[in-house]
Structure 1
Amino acid sequence: MIPSSAFSLSMTLQCGQCFRFFEENGVFLGVANGRLLKIEQTDRFIRFFDMTQEEFQAVWANYFDCATDYDALHTLFSNDQTLCSAIEKTGGIRVLRQDGFETLISFLISQNNNIPRITKSINLLCERFGSRIAPDTFAFPDAKTLASASLSDFSGLSLGYRDRYLLDAAQKVSSGEIDLSKLYTCPIEEARQTLRTICGVGPKVAECVLLYGFARLSCVPMDTWMKKVMARYYQAGLPEEILPYAGIAQQYLFHYARCFDTF
């Protein structure tokens, strides 16, 4: 269990940064890092079911970014009035530290798509190519498995034209042409350009992958909502002091604009 303060489980898991969790009677069930997770939020704690302290520390503390001091970030962000308003509504969101390859494939699928269809496609992909970890639950497939598929193997997964994007990404990662491990630490422009050599990866997808899959917290995905936010409040750009954590600020602003503000 971890304290509930400055942590909204529902916002974190339903704000569009991940796609393999669903809620049932206040309890979230999902798969990440090849493991099944059952988790709920009470008034005081985030409760992890059927888990040892060792597993939490080894896997889930990092996944939920428990080492980052979000209270300190809220203090920093609150110097900006717009961010202060966003934090009041959405400050419980944490930016997850997800598997890099899964994040890459997920956001290739996300293009010109909606969350229900994205979720459906990812679940079908896992059922077809992933290993079974519970009776009706499958891990996300690795790059080698997807790279060995043909385009016809992706039929019926509701991918449309995105099937060739997935195959190209898997083949480049599996062959070593792209070394995803370097994206954690290489210069950020190099990381962006590396991802954009993959068919279908444009600026927005690259920013999403780097932020949600490689903890590059300065990255800011620019979708329709964020473009409206920037045009209305930040014509000169985000405040300089928050730029190292602009991806977290973006998540607050995006969710605030989408769910609580009007444009």
Structure 2
Amino acid sequence: MLKSALQIPATFDESGVLLPDMPDFDLAQTLDCGQAFRWEEQMDGSFIGIAHKKRCRISREGDAVRLWGISRASFEQVWHPYFDLGRDYAALKRRFSSDPALARAVEYAPGIRVLRQEPWEALCSFIISQNNHVKRIKGIVSRFCELLGEPAEGGGFAFPSPEAVASCSPADLAPLRAGFRARYLVDAAQKVVSGQVDLEACCSLPLPEARAMLTRITGVGVKVADCALLYGCGRVECFPIDVWMRRVMELLYPDGLPDCARGYEGIAQQYLFHYARTTGLGTV
């Protein structure tokens, strides 16, 4: 197993947090690559988003990354794990680059990180993502938060709690314009609140058991379950297969991913997915 880069140099002042040397963290590649839907790029190239009931503005300054208005406690408790700053992505990329196709995908977008989102938010986001495109997903998620979310620290709205959604009917979610997905969101919330689905347990259960638990939810198949496990539960060994990844596997890996991806299949998938989606597979 790879060692984690647990000690991320950081300085704290009245403006927030400065990470002085972050070559393996590109904001657009990470925040606008289809893994999270609450980040918006600003005219100055910074991104504003909300996670864990907190609002954050993050920007790139040369080799450094700055998180504006963030306290030391908030950074350590929320944003350090959210941006997966305890993982050595440089070592991972060296490992992946032993495979020629993965090497090209890594070279194409070397600043990708896999976010550690709240399990409930990741589950709902990928329920909403079904048969949908990113712009529309973002719109539905935004309306969802405005309709049922509590005010977030720093402005905007937090992601709605399972309890808030469980008390609704699908008709109550009509303002989201989510179509058939409204029924799935309500069913997910009711099963989480009742304990039929234990999202915390999904973070540590054997992968087949965690997947089976999530697929108890109406409308949640293996792909949505795997996305929730990867992006919400930190299960980096989980490998979601959508139309793009199916093409990648058929074209490049008919016998499965190379050994260099073992244990980190979900992170390898993110590099391959981003390359395939933005280039149409190109020369991978």
Tell me the SS of whatever aligns to 2:238: coil
Shift of residue 52, structure 1, vs aligned partner: 1.8
Give distance in 1, aligned partners of 2:58 and 2:104. Answer: 28
Which one of the candidate residues 132, 143, 146 is aligned to 1:113? Answer: 132
Tell me the SS of whatever aligns to 2:264: helix
Which residue is 1:262 aligned to? 282
**Among the aligned pairs, what percent are the same residue?**
45
Which residue is 1:19 aligned to? 37
Change (3 A) 1:66 1:136: closer
Structure 1 gap ranges (5+) = none
Shift of residue 240, structure 1, vs aligned partner: 2.6
Q: Is the 8 A contact 1:4 1:43 kept in 2?
A: no
CA-to-aligned-CA distance 1:108-132 (integer Å, 9 cap, x gap): 0000001111111111111110112
Which one of the candidate residues 1, 5, 10 is aligned to 2:28? Answer: 10
Shift of residue 135, structure 1, vs aligned partner: 8.6
Tell me the SS of whatever aligns to 2:91: helix
Instruction: Give the AA of the match of 2:65.
Output: I
Task: Say whether 1:206 aligns with 2:225.
Answer: yes
Instruction: Give the AA of the match of 2:142.
Output: N
Which one of the candidate residues 30, 51, 54 is aligned to 2:73? Answer: 54
Which one of the candidate residues 84, 90, 104 is aligned to 2:109? Answer: 90
Task: Say whether 1:80 aligns with 2:80.
Answer: no
Task: Say whether 1:185 aligns with 2:186.
Answer: no
Shift of residue 53, structure 1, vs aligned partner: 2.0
Give distance in 2, aligned partners of 1:121 and 1:70. Answer: 32
CA-to-aligned-CA distance 1:33-57 (integer Å, 9 cap, x gap): 0001111112111100011222211
Which one of the candidate residues 167, 171, 196 is aligned to 1:148? Answer: 167
Give distance in 1, aligned partners of 2:154 and 2:237. Answer: 39
Q: Is the 8 A contact 1:196 1:202 kept in 2?
A: yes
**How many residue pairs are counted as aligned between the two chains?**
263
Which residue is 1:65 aligned to? 84
Task: Say whether 1:231 aligns with 2:250.
Answer: yes
Give distance in 2, aligned partners of 1:134 and 1:232. Answer: 46
RMSD of the alignment, in Å? 1.3
Q: Is the 8 A contact 1:77 1:84 kept in 2?
A: yes
Shift of residue 262, structure 1, vs aligned partner: 2.9
Instruction: Give the AA of the match of 2:30.
Output: T
Q: Is the 8 A contact 2:170 2:182 kept in 1?
A: yes
Q: Is the 8 A contact 2:55 2:155 kept in 1?
A: no
Which residue is 2:12 aligned to? none
Instruction: Give the AA of the match of 1:4.
Output: M
Which residue is 2:9 aligned to? none
Tell me the SS of whatever aligns to 2:122: helix
Task: Say whether 1:128 aligns with 2:128.
Answer: no
Tell me the SS of whatever aligns to 2:58: strand
Shift of residue 151, structure 1, vs aligned partner: 1.7
Give distance in 1, aligned partners of 2:139 and 2:275. Answer: 26
